[in-house]
């Protein structure tokens, strides 16, 4: 079985053809979306997903999110004396998804198709592939997220011939892709994007605005206080999806701060985000050489596309032709699953053809500092092209080739992928002739071959495989992760409610905290002393009901009825298994 995986900035998911039908595979909590968050404990254990997300507030220094943005960067995360790369953290997410799929299907999972942002560089793509290898997965191929979405959309609309944009706005990245779909063919024509723009930026804009309104210096806040405000920002953003206005009480060190935000207010504090979105859209329309009225529609996907202000913005730009996909959170994962089905020659999808393109121009710098493009962007993958060069000085002993990805005419302003030094024979300038071949594969990862007259050592390299990512190193990192302790699945639901209570305790006021602590202590005591699972289930239900009331109270400045608070506290006390009758 080959699975399709959407390794997202905010959430990840997995799909596969099960009993002849493409299905999203749920995690242990019955959800098809697993938060892309990893948290570590001092005893060497780790948490992935929903439990880890709750620990962002209570354990901010040992809990990590949005590490997808750092893929391929070489960034190191340090915790309890150990170091992890973004690929390692991503591997833990992939490992969890793999385990979920094996639990649900009863099959051993070894092969996967993994989605990546269309604007991921070669290094980021290679890092994603390495994360799969570290997780014990054979990565059959990488699929651009908007391409996967277009595939899902067209499979459901095979009777339509359309040219449309896929506007993929997730938690951490924005990708916009121009698609021409007809018959059984989906052609990707142009792409544009920003790997550092997503829904998380709205969360931060709200958090900073809360600080601004109450004259709290954001930069002076501790990491746990910032995480509380970022979590509040996300809750307010989500609330504004269904409401025109949000009234919220933010508690920092039990000090309440009242905050009100409307949709229009969110637009005003997020002007920089909208400017960045506009730049991405202008770039793709200009590259494609088409006008707004030449596009049949805009397919909006990704969690951040649910925001009414984003939908209104795109509708305004494209004369009302925006369409938000109901399954926008999972459409990429389903597309990756379809690619997996194509690879398996599944009868339902084996005849579908998807063509993808090179995300960036690929070339090298030359003597005058300009960028010599060898493969221009938007070439259909796979593709290959030659560039020809010669020495510019007498008796050179070496030539340095810097491989760049990007579109700037000044070489140094593009992304450096690799620097290659080639020893050459000492000849007069122009007498050493060098031929360079760059080849993009179907995954958007490329190879370089350098040959020529006067070269002492030819070069044949797979670019993107950074130092330390050899097969031996990947095996070593896989073994290290395999040796880490995970928590029993049977305990996960109880752990989740405890971690959520801990997170709420850091966010609520003194009165709410008293009620929450009593409910939590009652639940923990029941877990230790109960004689039946039914008692534990009932204690958990009571704790969850207390948390629901507290969460609701945060969205209103009005106090709850005193009798309600008293009844909740009394109900908690009466449920104490140690209380004498």
pLDDT for 140-179, tens place per residue? 999 999 999 999 999 988 888 999 999 999 888 899 999 9
Q: Is 415 part of a structural domain of the chain?
A: yes
Give pLDDT tens digits for 180-199.
Answer: 999 999 999 999 889 889 99
Of the three residues 438, 453, 469, the one that is the final residue of a domain is 469
Mean pLDDT of 416-420: 87
Backbone angles phi, psi at 436, to 5 degrees: -115, 125
Mean pLDDT of 496-522: 84
Q: Is 183 part of a structural domain of the chain?
A: no
Are 335 and 151 within 8 A, CB to CB?
yes
Name the residue range of residue 523's domain. 508-574
Q: Which tokens belong to 155? A: 């499979």
Residues 458 and 520 in one domain: no
How many CB atoms lie under 10 A from the CB of residue 469? 20
Residue matched to tokens 């779909």: 181
Percent of the residues in the chain that have a pLDDT greater than 90, as a whole number: 55
Residues 373 and 441 in one domain: yes
d(CA 523, CA 538): 9
Q: Which tokens belong to 423? A: 């020893």
Mean pLDDT of 226-232: 94
Helical packing angle, 331-343 and 145-155, nearest 10°:
80
Residue matched to tokens 């020495």: 391
Residue 411 is part of a domain; what is its CATH number? Answer: 2.60.34.10
Of the three residues 452, 469, 486, the one that is the final residue of a domain is 469
According to the model, what pLDDT value does residue 258 have? 94
According to the model, what pLDDT value does residue 82 have? 92
Residues 452 and 513 in one domain: no
Q: Is 397 part of a structural domain of the chain?
A: yes
Residues 439 and 530 in one domain: no
Residues 447 and 366 in one domain: yes
pLDDT at 578 > cutoff 80:
no
Residues 465 and 524 in one domain: no
pLDDT at 447 > cutoff 70:
yes
Are 400 and 421 within 8 A, CB to CB?
yes
Q: Is 435 helix (H, G, I), strand (E, B) or coil?
A: strand
Q: Is 392 part of a structural domain of the chain?
A: yes
According to the model, what pLDDT value does residue 503 have? 85
Residues 441 and 533 in one domain: no
Which 3-state string (H, E, C) describes 88-142?
HHHHHHHHHHHHHHHHHHCCCCCEEEEEECCCCCHHHHHHHHHHHHHCCCEEEEE
Residues 448 and 374 in one domain: yes
Helices and strands of the chain, counted as H and E runs: 15, 27
According to the model, what pLDDT value does residue 31 have? 95
Q: Is 393 part of a structural domain of the chain?
A: yes
Residues 451 and 514 in one domain: no
Q: Is 57 part of a structural domain of the chain?
A: no
According to the model, what pLDDT value does residue 565 have? 42
According to the model, what pLDDT value does residue 534 have? 85
According to the model, what pLDDT value does residue 335 have? 96
d(CA 22, CA 202): 33
pLDDT at 463 > cutoff 80:
no
427 burial via Cβ count (<10 Å: 0-12, 13-18, 19+): middle
Are 471 and 489 within 8 A, CB to CB?
no
Backbone angles phi, psi at 366, to 5 degrees: -120, 180
Closest CA to 487 of 16, 38, 166, 12: 38
Q: Which tokens belong to 520? A: 């939590």
Are 50 and 38 within 8 A, CB to CB?
no
Are 356 and 406 within 8 A, CB to CB?
no
Mean pLDDT of 231-255: 92
Number of compact structural domains in the chain: 2
d(CA 427, CA 423): 12
Q: Is 553 part of a structural domain of the chain?
A: yes
Percent of the residues in the chain that have a pLDDT greater than 70, as a whole number: 93
Q: Is 563 part of a structural domain of the chain?
A: yes
């Amino acid at each position: 079985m080959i699975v399709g995986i959407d390794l997202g900035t905010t959430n990840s998911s997995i799909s596969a053809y099960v009993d002849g039908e493409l299905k999203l595979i749920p995690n242990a909590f019955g959800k098809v979306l697993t938060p892309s968050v990893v948290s570590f404990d001092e005893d060497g254990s780790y948490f992935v997903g929903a439990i880890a997300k709750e620990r962002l507030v209570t354990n901010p220094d040992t809990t990590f999110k949005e590490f997808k943005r750092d893929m391929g960067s070489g960034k190191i995360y340090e915790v309890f004396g150990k170091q992890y790369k973004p690929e390692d953290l991503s591997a833990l997410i992939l490992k969890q998804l793999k385990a979920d799929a094996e639990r649900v299907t009863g099959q051993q999972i070894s092969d996967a198709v993994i989605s990546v942002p269309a604007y991921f560089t070669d290094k980021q793509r290679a890092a994603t592939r390495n994360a799969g290898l570290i997780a014990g997965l054979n990565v059959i191929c990488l699929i651009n997220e908007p391409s996967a979405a277009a595939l899902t959309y067209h499979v459901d609309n095979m009777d339509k011939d359309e040219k449309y944009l896929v506007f993929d706005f997730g938690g951490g990245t924005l990708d916009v892709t121009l698609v021409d779909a007809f018959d059984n063919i989906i052609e990707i024509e142009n792409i544009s994007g920003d790997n550092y723009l997503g829904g998380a930026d709205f969360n931060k804009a709200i958090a900073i605005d809360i600080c601004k309104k109450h004259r709290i210096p954001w930069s002076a806040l501790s990491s746990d206080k910032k995480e509380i405000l970022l979590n509040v920002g996300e809750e307010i953003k989500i609330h504004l999806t269904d409401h025109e206005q949000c009234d919220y009480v933010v508690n920092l060190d039990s000090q309440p701060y009242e905050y009100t935000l409307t949709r229009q207010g969110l637009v005003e504090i997020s002007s920089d985000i909208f400017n960045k979105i506009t730049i991405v859209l202008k770039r793709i329309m200009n590259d494609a050489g088409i006008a707004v009225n030449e596009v049949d529609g805009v397919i909006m996907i990704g969690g951040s596309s649910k925001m009414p202000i984003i939908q209104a913005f795109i509708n305004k730009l494209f004369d009302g032709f925006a369409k938000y996909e109901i399954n926008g959170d999972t459409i990429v994962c389903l597309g990756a699953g379809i690619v997996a089905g194509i690879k398996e020659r599944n009868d339902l999808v084996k005849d579908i053809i998807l063509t993808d393109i090179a995300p960036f121009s690929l070339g090298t710098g030359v003597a005058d500092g300009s960028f010599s493009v060898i493969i221009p962007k938007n070439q259909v993958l796979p593709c290959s092209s030659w560039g020809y060069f010669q020495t510019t000085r007498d008796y050179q002993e070496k030539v340095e080739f810097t491989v760049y990805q990007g579109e700037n005419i000044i070489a140094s302003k593009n992304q450096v992928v690799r620097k290659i030094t080639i020893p050459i024979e000492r000849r007069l300038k122009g007498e050493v002739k060098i031929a360079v071949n760059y080849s993009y594969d179907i995954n958007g990862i490329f190879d370089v071959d350098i040959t020529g007259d006067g070269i002492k050592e030819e070069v044949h390299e797979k670019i993107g495989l950074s130092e330390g990512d050899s097969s031996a190193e990947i095996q070593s990192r896989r073994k290290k992760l395999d040796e880490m302790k995970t928590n029993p699945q049977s305990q996960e639901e109880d752990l989740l409610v405890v971690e959520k209570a801990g997170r709420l305790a850091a966010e609520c006021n003194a009165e709410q905290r008293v009620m929450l602590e009593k409910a939590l202590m009652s639940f923990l005591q029941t877990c230790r002393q109960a004689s039946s699972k039914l008692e534990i289930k009932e204690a958990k239900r009571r704790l969850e009901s207390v948390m629901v009331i507290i969460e609701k109270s945060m969205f209103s400045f009005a106090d709850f009825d005193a009798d309600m608070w008293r009844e909740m506290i009394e109900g908690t006390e009466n449920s104490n298994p140690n209380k004498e009758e």
